[in-house]
Amino acid sequence: MLKSILTATIAAVALAAFAPSANAQAKMGTLDMNAIFTQYYKTKDAEAKLNEARAAAKKELDDRLENLKKSMDEINKINADIEKPELSKDAKAKATKDRDDKVNDARNLDREITEFRGTRERQLQEQFVRMRKDIIDEIMKVVNDKVKEAGYDVVFDKSGMSMGQIPVLVYSRGDLDFSAAIVTALNKNAPKSSAAN
């Protein structure tokens, strides 16, 4: 009973908020924030920088993995030498010591690789979050300026989804969408060499 009263109250408040008064009607607009985000030249530039950082991290990781593989090959070769019956007792002892040293070095290298991988993934994730936040802040400044300039009362993001993965905005007329104007404003100062071109 309380739930239905609460739902009715919320619906009444929402209708009252959007009901046209005798003198004015609410001006509504829509945006596709996903499209704006992906079409903004700085998003493409940030993705390119992030991909470069990922490629550099992968190369560094691959180099370390190659060194570990070489160490393991050397250990396997020493193990094969130790098994040779013609090897003297002193030579076996020296080879065993060399192998044990290389095993310790390989373990340390393996530990470094694991730490490097975790640290670099965390750094890349933090870089991604920072870049995304900066871009969204820039987009929202342009959106807010446009909203004030055009006198919108309410603006909906038509790309938004509910927790049930259902579009929040089920329908809107196409002429309410001003996403293209936002993209144009954002990209007006795009450098010629930008990834957006």
For the chain, the structural domain boundaries read 21-187
Write the single-letter amino acid at 161.
Answer: M
Helical packing angle, 89-150 and 179-187, nearest 10°: 120
Mean pLDDT value of segment 93-106: 90
DSSP annotation of 37: H
Q: What is the DSSP string of 111-143?
A: HHHHHHHHHHHHHHHHHHHHHHHHHHHHHHHHH
Q: Using the predicted structure, report yes or no on whether residue 147 has a pLDDT greater than 90.
A: yes
Mean pLDDT value of segment 74-102: 88
Query: Is residue 181 exposed (0-12), middle (13-18) or buried (19+ Cβ within 10 Å)?
Result: middle
Within 8 A by CB and 6+ apart from 88, the residues are none
Q: Using the predicted structure, report yes or no on whether residue 126 has a pLDDT greater than 90.
A: yes
Closest among 194, 197, 182, 192 to 35, alpha carbons compared: 182
| Residue 19 confidence (pLDDT) | 53
Higher pLDDT, 134 or 190: 134
Instruction: State the fold for domain 21-187.
Output: Protein Binding, DinI Protein; Chain A (3.30.910)
How distant, in Å, are the alpha carbons of 33, 169, 171 from that of 143?
10, 18, 21
Q: Using the predicted structure, report yes or no on whether residue 124 has a pLDDT greater than 70.
A: yes
Q: Which of 22-26, 65-69, 103-107 has the lowest mean pLDDT?
A: 22-26
Mean pLDDT value of segment 7-11: 40
Q: Using the predicted structure, report yes or no on whether residue 105 has a pLDDT greater than 60.
A: yes
Backbone angles phi, psi at 143, to 5 degrees: -60, -50
Within 8 A by CB and 6+ apart from 99, the residues are 75, 78, 79, 82
